[in-house]
């Protein structure tokens, strides 16, 4: 390992001068700088970021905190795409990202503050935590720069990045209404997620704006799981034959509804239109293919990181970023009756 001291010894200058030359200070003789830079290059000198951060207090590291990063969550490439987006931007900015999972941190009885101070994290991006998660509360209250994915809360050191779920859900509902659907059901996820609320609220508003009545009985709960959505919709469709369209808070649940429809010999989209949310790869392969609302998780990660670094550098003019979703129409939507 080559250190500043080595470079100092070899070039004959002091550690101080070497440090300044390498960090681009302009009070260094050009010749001196060239000599030092050449030596650094030759020896493949790399600054020790840990040592740097010890004195500068800037670790050039951020954390990405997600809820249980277990086997199952791997199915959900939303998190992974966000991760990719973060990774891309973070590296561009000369930072590095550490992956943190709440489950394992809790297991180790760490507080949010500890997670952060252990590694001197400059900021944290949070995704997928339940509303009532203590880490989330700590993060919001604390003074560590934080960016939340899909949780619309902001303050001095907290920002968020999300998509225009409100508009896109309303758009989907109104689209169904325009096709002639009068009884549009909603398959909601569990109540621990902010997005469930937002989407449900938007569903209701969409109905109202389309001149349709909101009927609480047309709401099912599938917990963002295919199997649960399948079972819930099986019963539901049997007892609510007037329903001709189903809007689902996630594609995974839409798959469950699709399965139930098939089992009940309902033709999709002739007897039942279905719209999902997420645009997962599978939606292009089902039969019929699934209409859905497409998010851009990669962008969420990338822009979220951008925002986080701005908050860290105190250079941000805003505390939130909204990414546009896209209503993707495929084969699972049509007029009622065909």
Partner DNA sequence: CTGTTAGCGCATTCAC
Partner DNA sequence: GTGAATGCGCTAACAG
Distances (CA, A) of 196 to 74, 132, 199, 208, 282: 21, 14, 5, 18, 21
Q: Three-state SS string across 154-167, please? A: CECCEEEEEECHHH
Q: Does the protein bind DNA through residue 111 (CB under 7 A)?
A: no
Q: Report H helices in the chain.
A: 4-11, 15-22, 30-42, 49-56, 77-92, 102-107, 112-118, 134-141, 165-179, 194-209, 226-239, 251-263, 297-312
Please give the residue ranges that form the binding site for a copy of itself (CB under 8 A).
1, 44, 46-51, 53-54, 59, 61, 69-71, 73-75, 77, 79-81, 83-84, 87-88, 91-92, 96-101, 104-105, 108, 111, 113-114, 117-120, 255, 281-282, 285-287, 297-298
Closer residue to DNA (CB): 16 or 137: 16
Does position 155 interact with DNA (CB under 7 A)? The reply is: no
In order of 75, 291, 309, the CA distances from 246 in angstroms are 23, 11, 40
Q: Which is nearer to DNA, 8 or 149 (CB)?
A: 8
Q: Is the peptide bond before 288 cis (omega within 30 degrees of 0)?
A: yes
**Rounded to an integer, what distance in angstroms lies between the CA atom of residue 145 and that of residue 123?**
5
Should residue 143 be labelled a site residue for DNA when binding is judged by CB under 7 A?
no
φ, ψ dihedrals at 285, nearest 5°: -115, -10
Q: Looking at beta carbons only, is 53 or 105 nearer to DNA?
A: 53
Judged by beta carbon, residue 211 or residue 285, the one nearer a copy of itself is: 285
| Beta-strand pair 245-248/184-188 | parallel
**H or E stretch covering 332:** none
1-40 positions binding DNA, by CB under 7 A:
1, 3-5, 12-17, 19-20, 22-23, 27-33
Number of residues engaging DNA in binding (CB under 7 A)? 28
The partner in contact with residue 69, picked from a copy of itself, DNA, none with C-beta cut-offs of 5 to 8 angstroms by kind, is a copy of itself
State the SS3 of 113-131: HHHHHHCCCCEEEEECCCC
Q: What is the nearest approach in angstroms of DNA to the Cβ of residue 39? A: 13
| Residue in 38, 51, 238, 329 binding DNA, rule: CB under 7 A | 51
139/198 with CB nearer a copy of itself = 139
Q: Which of 41, 44, 55, 285 binds DNA (CB under 7 A)?
A: 55
User: Is the Cβ–Cβ distance between 292 and 278 less than 8 Å?
Assistant: yes
CB of 113 to a copy of itself, least distance (A): 7
List 10, 37, 52, 60, residue binding DNA (CB under 7 A): 52
Closest CA to 167 of 195, 191, 203: 203
Please give the residue ranges that form the binding site for DNA (CB under 7 A).
1, 3-5, 12-17, 19-20, 22-23, 27-33, 47-48, 51-52, 54-56
């Amino acid at each position: 390992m080559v250190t500043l001291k080595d470079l100092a010894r070899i070039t004959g200058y002091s550690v101080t001068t070497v440090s300044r030359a390498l960090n681009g200070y302009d009070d260094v003789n050009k010749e001196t700088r060239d000599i030092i830079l050449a030596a650094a290059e030759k020896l493949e000198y790399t600054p020790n970021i840990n040592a740097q951060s010890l004195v500068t207090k800037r670790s050039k590291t951020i954390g990405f905190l997600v809820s249980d990063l277990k086997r199952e969550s791997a199915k959900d490439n939303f998190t992974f795409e966000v991760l990719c987006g973060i990774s891309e931007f973070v590296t561009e900015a000369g930072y590095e990202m550490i992956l943190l999972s709440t489950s394992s941190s809790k297991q180790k009885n760490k507080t949010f503050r500890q997670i952060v101070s252990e590694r001197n994290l400059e900021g944290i991006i949070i995704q997928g935590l339940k509303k009532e998660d203590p880490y989330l509360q700590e993060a919001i209250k604390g003074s560590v720069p934080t960016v939340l994915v899909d949780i619309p809360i902001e303050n001095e050191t907290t920002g968020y990045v999300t998509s225009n779920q409100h508009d896109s859900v309303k758009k989907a509902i109104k689209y169904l209404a325009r096709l002639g659907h009068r009884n549009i059901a909603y398959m909601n996820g569990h109540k621990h997620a902010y997005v469930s609320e937002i989407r449900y609220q938007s569903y209701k508003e969409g109905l109202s704006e389309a001149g349709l009545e909101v009927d609480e009985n047309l709401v099912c709960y599938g917990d963002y799981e295919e199997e649960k959505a399948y079972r819930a919709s099986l019963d539901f469709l049997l007892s609510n034959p007037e329903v001709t369209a189903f809007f689902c808070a996630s594609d995974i649940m839409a798959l469950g509804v699709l399965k139930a429809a098939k089992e009940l010999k309902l033709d999709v989209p002739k007897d039942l239109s279905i719209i999902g949310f997420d645009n997962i790869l599978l939606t292009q392969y089902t039969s019929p293919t699934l209409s859905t609302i497409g998010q851009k998780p990669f962008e969420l990660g990338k822009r979220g990181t951008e925002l986080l670094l701005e908050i860290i550098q105190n250079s941000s003019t805003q505390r939130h970023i909204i990414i546009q979703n896209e209503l993707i129409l495929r084969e699972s939507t049509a007029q009622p009756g065909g």
